[in-house]
Amino acid sequence: MIKDVHITNFKSIKDIYLNDCRRINLFIGKPNVGKSNILEALSLFSLPYLQYAKKKHIRQFIRVENDSELFF
């Protein structure tokens, strides 16, 4: 589980620190503030794990406790 994220000099993000990220499900903000860039940075971080993920069924890495968590 990711607890803290620190992104520096990535696309439009100069420096951001997100702490206590235990259950981030949603990024909300005005257009062009970097929401997608945060997600892209996290996806780049996960690249080394893709080979492992290909060996396992993807459902093993996704947890939804309640269908209402999918919608806001």
- Please state the domain extents for the chain: 5-64
pLDDT, tens only, 3-23: 888 999 999 999 999 888 877
User: What's the average model confidence in pLDDT over 48-52?
Assistant: 63
User: What's the average model confidence in pLDDT over 45-53?
Assistant: 65
φ, ψ at 38 (rounded to 5°): -65, -45
Using a cut of 0.85, tell me whether the model's pTM lies above it. no
* Cα–Cα distance, 10 to 18 (Å, whole number): 15
Task: Report the mean per-residue pLDDT for the chain.
Answer: 76
* Cα–Cα distance, 25 to 23 (Å, whole number): 6
